[in-house]
A = this chain, B = another copy of it.
Amino acid sequence: MASRSKAAAAKPQNAFYAQSGGVTAVINASACGVIETARKYPKKIGKVYAGRNGILGALSEELIDTSKESAATIAGLRSTPSGAFGSCRYKLRSLEENRREYERLIEVFRAHDIGYFFYNGGGDSQDTAHKVSQIGKRMGYPITCIGIPKTVDNDLPYTDTCPGFGSVAKYVAVATKEAALDVASMCETSTKVFILEVMGRHAGWIAAASCLAQEEPGDAPHIVLLPEVNFDEKKFLARVKTVVEKCGYCVIVVSEGAHYADGRFVADAGGKDAFGHTQLGGVAPVIANMVKAKHGYKYHWAVADYLQRAGRHIASGTDVKQAYAVGEAAVKFAIAGKNAIMPTIVRTSDAPYRWKIGEVALSKVANVEKPMPKKYISKDGYGITPAGRRYLAPLIQGEDYPAYKAGMPKYVRLKNILVGKKLPEFEIL
């Protein structure tokens, strides 16, 4: 067992990197930052192993040997969406409840001489990274645990933004603008109301970002339905009518988490389909039917779903840079002997947008959700304030196009070769 202070020892310890939770357009850019940076310090970090399907790969001892991938392939991760090593939704709860799993992690790390744990995810993952750092110490196998922020939900505290959010924000703003132009040009004789459903179960960050499509008064989106504001059907329908009568059409962006004052999701009001199944998902068609029933307006609706968080072709250049930077910083922090922290994005200026890398203790980040500040939501609840715009606008700046071949983006495909197992099977419960 080596500690960071013995960095000069002949054989440096290996690192373990895992992707966690819903993937994004830029989580692989963070992976790229981790691997490329680790490769620059071969005396400090041996191999970078990646968990096959995230933390499950550590539990099942399915470790991907990233050293088998060429420099060009690793560089290609920077512009490849999704989770190249696989991700998972698997939450390690308290040490008491999941002691067996935490101990298994440490056993696997010990068996493969892993001294660094980089966990790329949201709040749950930062909590796990924090707990691993604690139990490692207690089990006599101290491990350097660095969290790497990632979530399209933008709900991590202490960081200006979360890598992944800027790109989904840009996708949604661009999609809103383009669809609105389409509707505007046909509204006299065709569709008058267009509804775009976007992600965001608890927070309206993504829906709010659609407001970046507005350049002039009257521009779409005309109504944004946020989970932060209780849905008031009567008020909403009155507003739709006002907008259609004034602008000729109405573009609505609705967060999947939009809900009534009593907490019921608007999506659940959809009832049952022709087969008698409850309609799961799909707040957009519910809103559309509501508008049609009240006003009779012709409508269209879209549900962006995974397209928005996987849309690497329209990623935010700022987001890609930040995603890479937090991966790079994680490795540099580890090498510098830091532990149980997460790199953060620190905003130093709104316009021009300037940012630098900071750090926060995992104990502070773990399981804390950052809500969208009320001061970002307009008084009527259907849009954002100038303060909200100042915050959001820089996050979508810059384009970072992938390379194309024959008209399609060139996304890399890894070999994902597993390291030989050294331990007995472990049953994941």
Contacts and interface: CB of A to CB of B under 8 A. Distances in A.
Contact of A407 (B90, B182, B396): B396
B411 A407 contact: no
Interface stretch (A302-310, A327-335, A356-364): A302-310
A304 B306 contact: no
A273 B302 contact: no
A254 to B, nearest CB: 13
A225 to B, nearest CB: 17
A70 interface: no
Contacts of A312: 178
A116 B142 CA distance: 81
Nearest to A183: B306
A174 B409 contact: yes
Interface in A163-213: 170, 173-175, 177-179, 181-186, 188-190, 194, 196, 212-213
B213 A408 contact: yes
Given A273-B286, A274-B190, A407-B212, A82 B182 contact: yes
Interface stretch (A1-9, A124-132, A275-283, A377-385): A275-283
A335 B299 CA distance: 41
B177 A408 contact: yes
Interface of A: 19, 22-23, 25, 53, 56, 80-90, 170, 173-175, 177-179, 181-186, 188-190, 194, 196, 212-213, 215, 271, 273-275, 277, 279-282, 284-286, 288-290, 292-293, 298, 300-307, 309-314, 316, 318, 393, 396-399, 401, 404, 406-409, 411
| For the complex of A and B, 3 pairs with smallest distance between CB atoms | A82-B181, A83-B185, A302-B305
